Chain A
Amino acid sequence: MARRSWISQAACIAWKDLHIEGRSREVLYTMGFMAALVVLVFSFAFISGQETTVGPDAVAGILWVAVLFSGTVALSRTFDRERESEAIRSLLLSPVPRSAIYAGKLVATAAIMFLVELLLAPLLAALFSAGIMPHVLWLGLLLLLGTIGFCSVGVIFSAALLRARSRDALLGALLFPIVIPVLLAASRATAYLLDPTAPDLDPALFWTRFLAALDVVFVVVGLWSFEPVVMGE
């Protein structure tokens, strides 16, 4: 058999994960439900009396906190499936560069998270009367970039925590300090996009670019460090 290229190997792994998820829809449902609950908790906490909305800053914050919290659920499941019947061994023994495994896992997890976010944003718009429509494509791009930044770090940590007992407790605690710049850039850009009174969109453009630069840094460090991190498995 002809040797497959790195990209098609990564695509194979991503496809495998998405295929399993398509059958069980486990992560999709649990993560989606978790995200909706986070938004509801914030609604109960922030909205009082006759108000129907909170400021664009708060809406952006709620969106990204929901993405972060529910994303942790998705990430902790990314490698969970590989523990069953020691599937991780076969995956690591297969003649595939480790960086392709990382890329495949990253794409699959980010895709699932992004799907949930596509449902989350309209929910937020409905609950807080936030105007997402004027810049809906831009907002979609932000969600995608933010998710990639979050997952690029998260996939590594999730892989390294495969055998840890307190896996679920640790993942968030270790991940959040590192991805703070992603949260900051994404929520700032989102806030500018959602603000109908914003004079211009230059800051949003700036933060979107900054977010893209963060993604590049994190993905490069991820591709580079994945192999030694999972070597001991």
Chain B
Amino acid sequence: MLATMPSARRSSASFLAGIAATLVGFLLVPLLVANAPLEKTMGVVQKIFYFHVPCAWLLMLSTFVCAGGSLAYLFAGSERGDRLALCSAELGVLFGLCVMVTGPLWARAAWGVFWTWDVRLTSSLMLWLMLIAYRLARRYGGAGGRRLAAAMALFAAADVPLVYLSVNFWRGLHPNTKTVSSLAPGMRLPFFTSLLIFSALWGVLLALRMRVERAHSRLAELAIAVEDAEEESL
């Protein structure tokens, strides 16, 4: 217990720094986005881009972090990896929900429909479904649920490029695959700041969620220890 104290203090410091950065960002980004130049054809509607794209990036990041954690859990028995996988999958579901809400809103304004079977829409949807399935496996999978979920995460990570490729071939190429690199100079600063701040938020939420999960497993260990001690004293 005592041995874990310094690292706990260190993680608290970086955690507070993360919270501070996120708070500053949440004051800064709206200003930057409000002052960003208007897009020629879409006008103010395009501003959802500063919210939508970072969420999509975090959905992707969550999937790979989840797979990385699952890999550590499955092949090295790392409990920490397992917690990391669980927490990042949850965040993936959360940010995926943001993608699935903001995407159709933007699509309705830009293309006149809520949904098209475009490659990025479809592959984000598939990614999101896989993370939801991961949560289902964790929750209802019974005794083997953790291992099952970890295997799912590995398959999901292997699936990411395959889903993207297959949907791409299925629907034909997306016309604007170079959106970010072709951003107008005035849009770059707000976009990348937003991306950074959203990533910081993701990190803060992940750290918070992992603390809760760590406390959970510590509590379970203590409960077992108390039970054992009681049994011994009887």
Q: Which residues of A does B touch, CB under 8 Å?
A: 153, 156-157, 159-167, 169-170, 173-174, 177-178, 180-181, 184-185, 188, 206-207, 210, 214, 217-218, 221, 225, 228-233
Contacts A163-B143, A180-B163 given; 6 further ones with Cβ under 8 A? A160-B144, A161-B148, A170-B137, A181-B159, A185-B166, A218-B155
| Pair B170/A228 contact, Cβ less than 8 Å | no
| Pair A177/B74 contact, Cβ less than 8 Å | no
Of A167, A206, A218, A229, which contacts B74 at CB under 8 A? A229
| Pair B155/A178 contact, Cβ less than 8 Å | yes
| Pair B155/A184 contact, Cβ less than 8 Å | no
B124 to chain A, nearest CB (A): 13
**Contact residues of A: prevailing secondary structure:** helix
Closest to B167 in A: A184
Complex CA distance for A114 and B81, rounded to whole angstroms:
38
Number of chain B residues close to chain A: CB under 8 A: 32
Q: List residues 108-163 of chain B with CB under 8 A from any CB of chain A.
A: 126, 129-130, 132-133, 136-137, 140-145, 147-148, 150-152, 154-156, 158-159, 162-163
Q: Which residues of B contact A162 (CB under 8 A)?
A: 144
B201 to chain A, nearest CB (A): 26
| Pair B158/A217 contact, Cβ less than 8 Å | yes
Q: Which residues of B does A touch, CB under 8 Å?
A: 74-75, 126, 129-130, 132-133, 136-137, 140-145, 147-148, 150-152, 154-156, 158-159, 162-163, 165-167, 169-170
B143 to chain A, nearest CB (A): 4
B139 to chain A, nearest CB (A): 10
| Pair B155/A229 contact, Cβ less than 8 Å | no
Q: Which residues of B contact A174 (CB under 8 A)?
A: 133, 136-137, 148, 152
Q: Which residues of A contact B165 (CB under 8 A)?
A: 181, 210
Q: Which residues of B contact A170 (CB under 8 A)?
A: 136-137, 140-141
Query: A156-B151, A164-B143, A184-B170 known; A228 and B75 CB under 8 Å?
Result: yes
| Pair A161/B159 contact, Cβ less than 8 Å | no
| Sample (8) of A-B pairs whose CB atoms are under 8 Å apart | A159-B144, A174-B133, A174-B148, A178-B156, A181-B163, A185-B166, A221-B158, A229-B74
Q: Which residues of A contact B169 (CB under 8 A)?
A: 206-207, 210
